Structure 1
Amino acid sequence: MKAVMLPVAEGPHSVRYVDVETPQPQAGEVLIRLRFAALNRRDVWISYGTYRGMKLPVILGSDGAGEVVACGDGVEHVQVGDEVIINPGLRWGDLEAHPSPEFEILGMPTNGTFAQYVVVPAEQVVPKPQHLTWEEAAALPLAGVTAYRALFTRGRLQPGETVLIPGIGSGVALFALQMAVAKGARVFVTSSSDEKIARAMELGAAGGVNYRRDDWTKQLRQMMGGADLVVDGIAGPGFVQLVELTNPGGRIVSFGMTAGVVPELVMRQVFFRQMDIRGTTMGSPRDFARMLELYCEHRLRPVIDRKYPLSAAGEALTRMDKGEHFGKIVLEIPE
């Protein structure tokens, strides 16, 4: 089969489009003929070798959708011909509060979805939502469940609350925007791009500011008041301003740190104002199921930035690395 392999971790340009042996399902597993796969920031980081415990070579990719073409022994709830999407969070465990020590994400160290076929445990596949195209279905899993858990499981979002989403344009941020608006929240965004802010407002954001402006926090405060919930994947030096923009009793949920570590944090503001700062990553099987229910109930559709052939995965990763995208970048898998 054709696949996108990372033989060395030297950045997006180091991936290779190669022929590899088609995997076969073992007991409890299914073989999926993929139609589309989708990129995540995680794939870029892996290409640079920033993940601990990396094992190379590896087929990248956590997100995918396709058809079941073979089932291993003991598989009962999935049949050949089923159209499915993949929950990429492997071995979450029995606790809702956090993943088990055995938790892994498809695509490192386990071979992932940037290929014509992938083998996964049967419990990791769920029916493809009928209202979604193949590319939309492939775009949803990792970023969608991350956004859902950040908003609802960890963030305890309630209708009518004000939500701030910094750095609009990434998959998680846009999924969070869509779901928060669907649940009746007032959502504000930040970006370094006025165009991305305008597009977010077309998707339901109540407003947004460009954080390259010197007075961006003042402008945002005047626009939204304070935030009841901040869903942040950036961290870095700007995290201190997020604390200042959060209401007393408010919550900040952090799912990433694309801008690096937080250099300082004024703890006095956190404890005197009774704030919660919570971490989150991925989501449990229950989070995944509830995320799909929300998307089906409200007929939501992932925002697709650009579609590439599988053979151009390096070009697609470079686009994500440069931060040029608005929405999900997807890969079309050849027949």
Structure 2
Amino acid sequence: MQAIRVHPAQPPTPPYSPSNPAPSTSLHLDNIPIPHPTKPGELLIRIKATTIIRDMLTWPETYAHPYIIPGNDFAGTVVEIFLSGEESTFKIGDEVFGMVHADRPSTWAEYAIVLESEIALKPKGIEWEGAAALPLSGMTALEALFDHAGLSLLEEGDVEAQKENEKKEVLITGAAGGVGIYLVQLAATTGLRVIAASSSNARNGEFLQEIGAHEVIEYSALEDVKNRFDIIVDTVGGETLARCWRYVKEGGSLISVDSGSFNFVEEHGKRGVGRDGVKE
């Protein structure tokens, strides 16, 4: 089968690592044997679509072993199931999608081994590409809003909760991006007023409103905003995230899903950017 693999650095270049990321030229299309399931719960999937994540070459898992095959999200068909005497939930020919564990990237290939617990049947109305784009981005958005920001879905008929939520605003930066579009849709289900930040209203405004944003705002229009938002979920990082400290209310929540901003509270504190009274 064909697979894209990360080839190791050649001397005198230091070994690649998260602090010395491999360049794109280290990615090679190789011909390697097709793997086969060897344990209960394993299936072989013929990959129809996968995803490219911006920061993948900075992840520690990318350097777990030489010649690793990147990729975690996927959509494809089941072509082989490990026979262990137990009936599988899936059958040959099933169209599925899912995400392999972060420690086992492998989906930038024609075939990949996955676990039954990592897949679900692909809805008929979703194309291969759309199904592959969902798992990591959707899960990231879900965790940001419901685990870290503490939001919950409105219960049917709970008018008081709905009125209370309608008073609150959530700002989502990078709203038209891979994670941002799920944040907008999920935030809208909570009844909060969703403000989507975009670099261009002309390009993204109509689309973002169609998926649930109550207002679309360009970054330049945020310059004079202070202490406005109850919750901010940032997907951009960098200076955009640093400016968010001004926009969030006292007692509000500021969350970033940008992988390069995992320690932003500490880093911003050293720069004197952060402030007390904000939940991270």
Give TM-score scaled by structure 2 length: 0.76
Q: Quick one: structure 1 residues 257 and 120, their matched pair in 2 at CA, closer, same or farther if it must change by over 3 Å?
A: closer
Task: Show CA shifts across 1:216-257 (max 9, x none).
Answer: 332x56xxx822211113333343431221123321222225
- Distance change in 2, residues 1:257/1:145 (3 Å): closer
Equivalents in 1 of 2:184, 2:147: separation in Å?
16
Does residue 145 in structure 1 map to residue 151 in structure 2? Answer: no
Distance 1:27 1:18 in 2: 26
Q: Does the C-alpha gap of structure 1 residues 16 and 240 become closer, same or farther in structure 2, counting only changes over 3 Å?
A: closer
Q: How far did 1:208 drift?
A: 3.2
User: For 1:119-174, what per-residue CA distance to the aligned partner results, in whole angstroms no more than 9, with x for missing partners?
Assistant: 01221111212331222111101111011111112212255332111123321111
| Separation in 1, partners of 2:46, 2:129 | 14
What are the equivalent positions in structure 2 for 1:1-335 lying under 5 Å apart?
1-8=1-8, 10-28=22-40, 29-43=42-56, 46=57, 50-52=58-60, 54=63, 55-74=65-84, 76-88=88-100, 90=101, 105=102, 110-158=104-152, 159-160=165-166, 161-198=168-205, 199-211=207-219, 213=220, 216-218=222-224, 220=225, 226-258=228-260, 262-263=267-268, 264-265=271-272, 269-271=275-277, 275-277=278-280
Per mean C-alpha deviation after superposition, the further-off stretch among 229-238 and 31-40 is: 229-238
Identity rate, percent: 28
Counterpart CA distance in 1 for 2:22 and 2:148 is 35
1:317 is matched with none
* Amino acid aligned to 2:186: M
Please tell me whether Structure 1 or Structure 2 has the larger radius of gyration of its CA atoms: 2
Higher mean Cα deviation, 231-240 or 133-142? 231-240
Summarize the Cα distance change of 1:196–1:250 in structure 2 as closer, same or farther, 3 Å threshold.
Answer: farther
Instruction: Give the distance between the partners of 2:170 and 2:27, measured in 1 at CA.
Output: 38
* Structure-1 separation of matches of 2:142 and 2:124: 20
Question: What amino acid maps onto 2:70 in structure 1?
Answer: L
Secondary structure of the equivalent of 1:243?
helix
Checking the alignment, whether the CA contact within 8 Å between 2:73 and 2:107 is kept in structure 1 is yes
Higher mean displacement: 237-246 or 34-43: 237-246
CA distance in 1: counterparts of 2:259 and 2:55, whole angstroms:
12
Q: Say which SS state the counterpart of residue 113 (structure 2) adopts.
A: strand
Residues 237 and 258 in structure 2, CA contact (< 8 A), matched pair in contact too: yes
2: CA distance between counterparts of 1:64 and 1:240?
33
RMSD between aligned residues: 2.6
Q: Structure 1's 52 and 36: CA in aligned 2 closer, same or farther, altered over 3 A? A: closer
Structure 1: which 5+ runs fail to align? 91-104, 278-335
SS of alignment partner, residue 188 of structure 2: helix
With a CA cutoff of 8 Å and minimum separation of 6, indicate the structure with the bigger relative contact order.
Answer: 1
Secondary structure, in 3 states, of the residue corresponding to 2:142? helix
Asked if 1 retains the 8 angstrom alpha-carbon contact of 2:170 and 2:231, the reply is yes
CA contact (8 A) 1:178 1:203 kept: yes
Instruction: In structure 2, give the amino acid aligned to 1:33.
Output: R
Tell me the number of residue pairs that the alignment of Structure 1 and Structure 2 aligns. 244
Cα deviation, residue 82, structure 1: 2.0
In structure 2, relative to structure 1, the CA distance for the partners of 1:166 and 1:7 (3 Å cut) is same
Query: In the aligned structure 1, how far is the partner of 2:23 from the partner of 2:279?
Result: 36
Residue 78 of structure 1 deviates from its aligned partner by: 2.5
Normalising by the residue count of structure 1, what TM-score does the alignment of the two structures yield? 0.65
Match for 1:171: what amino acid?
G
Given that 2:55 and 2:259 are in contact with CA atoms closer than 8 Å, whether structure 1 keeps it comes out as no
Q: C-alpha distance in 2, partners of 1:27/1:207? A: 50
